[in-house]
Structure 1
């Protein structure tokens, strides 16, 4: 005889099994936001009584000291570098939209720039130290006698040069003689031309007398 089937028990809701599982994000609820760590970074320079110089005035100070710098360079020095350090003690006024700098920091920067310029000039004026190879070559050249001497002149070549020199001298003498003859002929032609001019003048005078 068949046994009666047992009634099915209701299955538990799967979602109930996870009701006690904490949310992953809850474990990190006390972690501060990354940007919160930068909220306490102070201003690079607080406004003080000594923040009196403008960027243009500081640039003129550099120019007067002989180490001229542009206003753009001054502004860059007012801002912190990658290490968060500014070269000049400066304060940016949001109302005036410009920087105000302390005279002390400006004078200190001027002194640093002058020291750099002096060092550069010194390096330029000082001769470059010779390298070990150059010193070795110099010592070898001064201490070692020359292995070669002046070559003996070739008699054939000497004779050829002497003959060429003699021919040139003769040619120059002939040229001088020819020039002198040309001068004499020119002078003779000039004298003849003058005489002919006088003769023409005399003949013209006679013709006028005969015509009258």
Structure 2
């Protein structure tokens, strides 16, 4: 017994990368549940590090929430603003959206972007709650020369609230079941991946072309 207790227990010291990944997982654990229970500020606070890291801005301001406002108000809330996170909560608990770094100059018209600073993201993967937040940029490959990075916000459409990109997604009003994923992986990929497309992360969500219902839309302005 004395010999056993005299031995030092070897500690597994986590690397900086492991620490960062652990913090991200802890930070986002339970986010979906909080959103459904309307604890909005707690959710935003818990996601704050990721939102800041991705955007480069440190202040968050909620400018639209479909639980508190009418869909037709979205256009007036975002017009003339930039650095916006459009966050959607689907009926299966997936939390995803679009970060628009550029200014929303017009409503009810397609806005085309040329800078490639916007991206599609997923904060919560309902199929794997331990999955880290991920983002995908519009892919500027030659075979996509007819595709564009774009957004259109509808002012008073019967069903559609807004839509993003070719092979992006469409968000429709709650209860319509008309929101739609359009094969996101076909023209989006992680940043700076180059030609190594075979090995980059994909899952059923990025491949999906299914309809779903959007329970809530939140827009966060970064400043």
The alignment's TM-score, normalised by the length of structure 1, stands at: 0.19
Structure holding more strand per residue: 2
Structure number with greater Rg is: 1
* Higher RCO (C-alpha under 8 Å, 6+ residues apart): 2
With structure 2 as the length reference, what TM-score do the two structures score?
0.19
User: Which structure has greater helix proportion?
Assistant: 1
